[in-house]
Structure 1
Amino acid sequence: MTVFLVIIVIALFAVTIWQMSKIFDLSRSSNEVDSSQIANDKDNKTQAYLSVGFAIFFYGLMFYSFWNLSKFYLPEASSEHGSEVDTLMFITIIIIMIVQILTQALLYWFSYKYRGQKGNKALFYADNDKLEFIWTIIPVIVLAGLIIYGLFTWSDIMNINEDDDPMVVELYAYQFAWRARYSGEDNTLGKANVRFIEGVNQLGVDESDPYGNDDVITTELHLPVGKPVVFKFRSQDVLHSAYFPHFRAQMNVVPGMITQFGFTPSITTEEMRESEYMVDKVQTINEIRKENSIELIAQGEVPLDTYEFDYFLLCNKICGQAHYNMQMKIIVESQEDYDAWMAEQNTFATSMAPQ
Structure 2
Amino acid sequence: MTVLLTIIVVALVGITFWQMSKILKLSQLKNVDTSQVANDKDNDTQGKLMLGFVIFIYVLTIYCFSAYNSFFLPESASKHGVEYDQLMLISLVIIMITQIITQGLLHYFTFKYRGKSTNKALFFADNDKLEFVWTIIPVIVLSALIIYGLFTWSDIMNIDEEDGDPLIIELYAYQFDWRARYGGEDNVLGKANVRFIEGVNTLGVDVSDSYGKDDKIVNELHLPVNRKVIFKMRSQDVLHSAYMPFFRAQMNVVPGMITEFSYTPTKTTEEMRNSEFMVEKVATINDIRREKSKALIAAGDEGLETYEFDYYLLCNKICGASHYNMQMKIVVEPEEDYNAWLKEQQTFGEQMSAQASN
- TM-score normalized by the length of structure 1: 0.89
Shift of 1:114: 1.5
| 249-258 or 127-136, which deviates more | 127-136
Query: Helix, strand or coil: the match of 1:77?
Result: coil
Deviations 1:29-57 (A, max 9, x none): xxxxx734331101110111111111111
Deviations 1:198-256 (A, max 9, x none): 11111111111111111111101000001100001111111111111000111111111
Quote the residue 1:116 is aligned against: 115
Distance in 1, matches of 2:237 and 2:132, equals 51
Quote the residue 1:13 is aligned against: none
Distance in 2, matches of 1:92 and 1:70, equals 18
| 115-124 or 203-212, which deviates more | 115-124
Distance in 1, matches of 2:129 and 2:38, equals 36
Deviations 1:229-286 (A, max 9, x none): 0001111111111111000111111111111010000000011111111111111111
Quote the residue 1:84 is aligned against: 83
Quote the residue 1:253 is aligned against: 253
Distance in 2, matches of 1:263 and 1:196, equals 30
Shift of 1:73: 0.9
| 325-334 or 36-45, which deviates more | 36-45
What amino acid maps onto 1:343 in structure 2? K
Deviations 1:106-164 (A, max 9, x none): 11011111111103232222122232222122222212211211121122222244231
Query: Which 5+ residue runs of structure 2 have no aligned equivalent?
Result: 1-20, 22-32
Query: Helix, strand or coil: the match of 2:184?
Result: coil
Equivalent residues, number: 326
Query: Which 5+ residue runs of structure 1 have no aligned equivalent?
Result: 1-20, 22-33
Residue 321 to residue 117, structure 1, CA distance change in 2 (3 Å): same
1:213 paired to 2:213? yes
Distance in 1, matches of 2:35 and 2:276, equals 62
Distance in 2, matches of 1:80 and 1:344, equals 28
Quote the residue 2:58 is aligned against: 59
Task: Please show how residues 195-344 of structure 1 align to structure 2 within 5 Å.
Answer: 195-344=195-344
| 294-303 or 151-160, which deviates more | 151-160
What amino acid maps onto 2:240 in structure 1? H
What amino acid maps onto 1:217 in structure 2? I
Query: Helix, strand or coil: the match of 1:164?
Result: coil
Distance in 2, matches of 1:193 and 1:129, equals 63
Quote the residue 1:17 is aligned against: none
Distance in 1, matches of 2:183 and 2:143, equals 40
What amino acid maps onto 2:135 in structure 1? T
What amino acid maps onto 2:166 in structure 1? P
Distance in 1, matches of 2:92 and 2:73, equals 16
What amino acid maps onto 1:178 in structure 2? W
Note if contact 2:168-2:183 (Cα within 8 Å) is conserved in structure 1: yes
Note if contact 2:253-2:259 (Cα within 8 Å) is conserved in structure 1: yes
Quote the residue 2:166 is aligned against: 166
Note if contact 2:159-2:261 (Cα within 8 Å) is conserved in structure 1: no
Quote the residue 1:68 is aligned against: 67
1:142 paired to 2:141? yes
Deviations 1:72-101 (A, max 9, x none): 111111011111111000000000001100
Distance in 2, matches of 1:174 and 1:163, equals 30
Distance in 2, matches of 1:129 and 1:174, equals 59
What amino acid maps onto 1:257 in structure 2? M
What amino acid maps onto 1:237 in structure 2? D
**Percent of counterpart pairs with the same letter?**
69
1:94 paired to 2:100? no
What amino acid maps onto 1:41 in structure 2? D
